[in-house]
Structure 1
Amino acid sequence: MILTVTPNPSLDRTYEVPSLDRGEVVRATGERVDPGGKGVNVSRAVTAAGRRTVAVLPLGGAPGALVADLLDAQGIEAAPVPVAGATRSNIALAEADGVLTKINAPGPELSAAEQELLLETVRRQSRGADWIACCGSLPRGLDPSWYAALVARAHAAGVRIALDTSGPALLRALRERPDVVKPNAEELAEAVGRPLATVGDAVKAAEELRELGARAVLASLGADGQLLVDDAGTWFGSALVDAVRSNVGAGDASLAGFLIAGGAGPEALASAVAHGAAAVRLPGSVMPTPADLDPDAVTVTADVPVDRPLKEPAP
């Protein structure tokens, strides 16, 4: 079982538009409403793969009630933590050429009592979990050390932790040695304090995160592929994608694929790449099912192309 923790979930509305013209009326050609937040997306992908998951998340107000209804409709077991503030609503505008514009609301501020209830719910629900995936930004009210405390509690209970966050929350949590962290290229560059221009730059940055405490680093490099750096070595994975429809939640699908396949080694990396590649071919934040995967399109190698320039350099 994979338990997910999303401290700042959302109600996600995705609109498909021909193009985005500032100051003009833009008519959408498609619309989706989904339960959102990185951990929620991981749970959706795990469910789509036919595996058990429990989603722990604070929910409040009318948007929170709708998120709970949407999770239930998708057959996702949830452990909601009631909060006084309303769950945030996010908007994504997906253009026909693959460009995505996202507007993310800040979300509610959690009280001290709500924060502790969230941690206690994670503790209670984690019994029997194979992994806890802690994902996304922290809502207002939570100190950047909150994820570090969660990692420490999980390890004390003998549960493995996957962490997908950024900034001070990531750096502080590294001290507690999370089992795997999953930054994208921009988050990786921010963590080490310098731009990344090549695959080799990303490898060096991932190695630095391991020196700071991460036991493994699964780094998403966008269209360039993904890296896995751990005690056993370094691998580079990529997949051919003929057309990108939406990359909303693609990184979350990748993390789900990685954990479903055991969370270690090149086979798990191949699963992560296959899930991420399948997700970008789907509308909105739809998570791929096994039928959407194309494992034959995935290449994983220990011969990492360190000199290859990144198509999307991280500033």
Structure 2
Amino acid sequence: MILTVTPNPSLDRTYEVPSLDRGAVLRATRDRVDPGGKGVNVSRAVAAARVLTTAVLPLGGAPGALIAELLGAQGVDVTAVTVAGQTRSNVTLVEPDGTVTKINAPGPELTAEESALLLETVRTTADAPAWIAACGSLPRGLPPEWYADLVARAREAGAKVALDTSGTALTAALAARPDLIKPNASELAQAVGRPLVTLGEVARAAQELRSRGAGAVLASLGADGQLLVSAEGTFHGTAPVAVVRSDIGAGDASLAGFLIAGGTGPEALVSALAHGAAAVQLSGSAMPVPADLRPEAVHVTENPPLDLPLSAPAAP
């Protein structure tokens, strides 16, 4: 069982439009509503793979109630912490060439009592899960150290923790020693305070974060694939993608694939890449099912050429 924690969930409305013209009336060719937030998406992808998952999240108002309903329909067990504020709604516009424009609302401000209750709910809900995936931005009212507190409590209870966040929330949590972190190239560059231009620079940045407390680093590099740096070694992988329809939630699907496959080693990296590649070929933030996956097309190399330049260098 994989338990996910999403401190700032959302109701995501996605519209596919012929083009994005400022000041015009845009007529969508397709639309969908999904429960959103990085941890929520991980649970959705885990459930799509027919693996047990529980999503712990603060919910408030009509959007929160709809999120719980939609997740239940997708096979996700929901443990909700009721909050006074209304859960945010986000809007995404997708153009035919795959260009995505997102409008993310800030979300409610959680009180100190709601923050403490969320942490306590994670502790009481965790019944020997294989992994706890703590994901996404922190809502207003939660300090940057909130994830560090969660990681420390989970590790004391003997649970493994995967953390997918950025900025001060990420760097503050490193000392609590999360078992896995999943930054993208920009988030990794920000964490080490320098630009990343080659695969070798990404690998050295990942090793630096490991020296600061992370057990393993799974770095998403966009078109350049993913790089896994752990005690087992350094592995780089790529997966072919025919057409990119939407990259919303693709990184979350990738993390789900990694954890489903055990959360360690090149086999898990293959699963992560297969899930991510399948997700970007689906509309909105739809999560792939087993029939969408092509693990046989994934290519993974141990000790890859570190002088390989990134197609999109990352700046801090």
Same fold (TM over 0.5): yes
Q: Give the residue type in structure 2 aligned to 1:15.
A: Y
Give the deviation of 1:266 after TM superposition. 0.3
SS in 2 for 1:276: helix
Give the deviation of 1:308 after TM superposition. 2.2
Q: Give the residue type in structure 1 aligned to 2:261.
A: A
Q: Give the residue type in structure 1 aligned to 2:109.
A: E
| Residue equivalent to 2:220 | 220
Moved more, 49-58 or 302-311: 302-311
For structure 2, the 5+ residue unaligned runs are: none
In 2: Cα distance, 1:123 partner to 1:54 partner: 13
SS in 2 for 1:306: coil
In 1: Cα distance, 2:126 partner to 2:228 partner: 26
In 2: Cα distance, 1:187 partner to 1:100 partner: 19
In 1: Cα distance, 2:244 partner to 2:154 partner: 37
| Residue equivalent to 1:249 | 249
Query: CA-to-partner distance for each residue in 1:192-232, whole Å, 9 max, x for gaps?
Result: 11122222221111111111110100000011100100011
Query: CA-to-partner distance for each residue in 1:227-274, whole Å, 9 max, x for gaps?
Result: 100011100010111110000000000000000000000000010000
Give the deviation of 1:75 after TM superposition. 1.8
| Residue equivalent to 2:182 | 182
| Residue equivalent to 2:234 | 234
Q: Give the residue type in structure 2 aligned to 1:32.
A: R
Q: Give the residue type in structure 1 aligned to 2:138.
A: L
Matched ranges for 1:142-291 at <5 A: 142-291=142-291
Q: Give the residue type in structure 2 aligned to 1:137.
A: S
In 2: Cα distance, 1:86 partner to 1:301 partner: 46
In 1: Cα distance, 2:295 partner to 2:184 partner: 22
| Residue equivalent to 1:132 | 132
In 1: Cα distance, 2:200 partner to 2:227 partner: 10
Matched ranges for 1:296-307 at <5 A: 296-307=296-307
In 1: Cα distance, 2:274 partner to 2:21 partner: 33
In 2: Cα distance, 1:311 partner to 1:245 partner: 20
SS in 1 for 2:238: strand
In 1: Cα distance, 2:22 partner to 2:201 partner: 35
In 1: Cα distance, 2:47 partner to 2:61 partner: 25
In 1: Cα distance, 2:219 partner to 2:165 partner: 12
Moved more, 38-47 or 17-26: 17-26
Matched ranges for 1:18-33 at <5 A: 18-33=18-33
**Correspondence 1:88 to 2:88:** yes
Give the deviation of 1:134 after TM superposition. 0.1
In 2: Cα distance, 1:59 partner to 1:272 partner: 29
The total of aligned residue pairs comes to 315
Query: CA-to-partner distance for each residue in 1:258-296, whole Å, 9 max, x for gaps?
Result: 000000000000100000000000000000011000112
Percent identity (aligned): 70
Runs (4+) of structure 1 moved beyond 3 Å? none
In 2: Cα distance, 1:21 partner to 1:201 partner: 39
Matched ranges for 1:92-111 at <5 A: 92-111=92-111
Alignment root-mean-square deviation, CA: 0.9
SS in 2 for 1:262: coil
In 2: Cα distance, 1:223 partner to 1:29 partner: 27
Give the deviation of 1:309 after TM superposition. 2.1
SS in 2 for 1:282: coil
